[in-house]
Chains A and B, each alone.
Chain A
Amino acid sequence: VSFTDGYAEVDGCKTRLRRGGTGAPLLFLHGANGAPVIMPFMEKLAQRFDVLVPEHPGYGKSDEPEWLENIHDLAYFYLDFLKALSLSNVTLVGTSMGGWIAMEMAVRDTSRIKSLVLVSPAGVTAPGLRAADIFLMAPEEAVRNLFVDRKLAEARLAQPEDIDISLKNRHTTARLAWEPRLHDPFLPKWLHRIDVPVKLVWGREDRILPVGLAEVLAQRIPGAHVHILENCGHLPHAEKPDEFVDIVCR
Chain B
Amino acid sequence: MQVTLFHLMPYAEVDLAAARAHGTVWGLPNRNYDAQVAHRLYNRFLDELEYGETLGFDAVSVNEHHQTAYGLMPSPIVTASALARRTSRVKIAILGSALPLRSHPMMVAEEHAMIDVISGGRLISGFVRGIGAEYHTFGVNPTFSHDRFHEAHDLIVRAWTEKGPFAFEGHHYRVSYVNLWPQPLQKPHPPIWIPSQGSKETIDWAAHPDRRYTYLQTFSPAKVVARYLKMYRDTGEGYGYRAADSQLGWSVPVYVARDDESARKQARFHFENFRNVFVRMPLEMLLPPGYTSRESLKNVMKAKAQMFGDVTLEQALELGLFVCGSPDTVLNAFRKHWQEMRFGNLLVLCQFGTLPADLTRTNMELFAREVMPALKALN
Residue positions of A touching B, CB distance < 8 A: 135-138, 163-164, 167-168, 170-171, 173-175, 178-179, 181
Contact = CB atoms under 8 A, between A and B. Distances in A.
B19 interface: no
Given A136-B284, A174-B288, A167 B294 contact: yes
Given A136-B136, A136-B284, A178-B135, 14 more contacts: A135-B136, A135-B288, A136-B285, A138-B282, A167-B289, A167-B294, A168-B294, A171-B289, A171-B290, A173-B289, A175-B143, A175-B289, A175-B290, A178-B141
10 contacts: A136-B284, A138-B282, A171-B289, A174-B143, A175-B141, A175-B143, A178-B143, A178-B289, A179-B139, A179-B141
Contact of A167 (B144, B285, B297): B297
Contacts of B284: 135-138
Can you list the 3 inter-chain pairs with the closest CB atoms, starting with the nearest?
A174-B289, A175-B143, A178-B141
A179 B290 contact: no
A168 B297 CA distance: 11
B14 to A, nearest CB: 21
A178 B142 contact: yes
A198 to B, nearest CB: 30
Interface in B286-305: 288-290, 294, 297-298, 301
Nearest to A175: B143
A135 B142 CA distance: 11
Interface residues of B, number: 19
B316 interface: no
Majority SS at the chain A contact face: helix
Contacts of B285: 136
Nearest to B171: A69
B140 interface: yes
Contacts of A136: 136, 282, 284-285
Contacts of B289: 135, 167, 170-171, 173-175, 178
Contact of B143 (A137, A163, A171): A171
Contacts of A138: 282-284
B68 to A, nearest CB: 15
A171 B141 contact: no
Contacts of A171: 143, 289-290, 294
Contacts, number: 49
A175 B135 CA distance: 12
Contacts of B283: 138
Residue among A135, A173, A178 with most chain B CB within 10 A: A178
Interface string B117-142: 00000000000000000011001111
B294 A164 contact: yes
Contacts of B297: 167
Contacts of B282: 136, 138
A235 to B, nearest CB: 21
Given A135-B284, A163-B298, A168-B294, A174 B139 contact: no
B126 to A, nearest CB: 25
A181 B141 CA distance: 10
Contacts of A168: 294
Nearest to A133: B136
B9 to A, nearest CB: 26
A174 B142 contact: yes
A178 B284 CA distance: 13
B176 to A, nearest CB: 23
Contact of B140 (A137, A163, A164, A179): A179
Contacts of A164: 294, 298
Interface in B49-90: none
A173 B143 CA distance: 10
Nearest to B283: A138
B332 to A, nearest CB: 43
A137 B283 CA distance: 10
A181 B297 CA distance: 22
A167 B298 contact: yes
A135 B135 CA distance: 11
Contacts of A179: 139-141
B173 to A, nearest CB: 15
B322 to A, nearest CB: 29
Contacts of A174: 141-143, 288-290
A179 B290 CA distance: 14
A99 B42 CA distance: 50
Nearest to B302: A163
Interface in B253-287: 282-285
Contacts of B290: 171, 174-175
Contacts of B136: 135-136
Contact of B139 (A163, A175, A181): A181
A174 B283 CA distance: 16
A168 B290 CA distance: 10
Contacts of A137: 284
